Structure 1
């Protein structure tokens, strides 16, 4: 069994069962209180999304 040392700063916390089921990037962080949950959700819903040119064209055509 290969078990490398996990000291890479780019390796995020994850859940192996979720990773195997979802088969996509995910990050696991515990939410320990209400304030942390509110801050996380606020940051997530307000983050800007980059939109592709093809999406803009389809939206304009619609």
Structure 2
């Protein structure tokens, strides 16, 4: 999921440099939403693993 956020961020940067403001804004918005969803899922995953008491396997 973090890879998708990075992809949309790169698309937004390229579109912004080339002058496509609408596409750049939309791609940046999508990247921001996906990034925050990733952060929320990461926190939930860490909390669930902490409450279970299992140590992560390395």
Do the structures match in fold with TM over 0.5?
no
Rg larger for = 1
Per chain length, whose mean CA-contact separation is higher, i.e. which structure has more relative contact order (CA < 8 Å, sep 6+)? 2
Question: Which band: TM-score by shorter chain?
Answer: 0.3 to 0.5
Give the number of the structure whose residues are more often helix, by fraction: 2
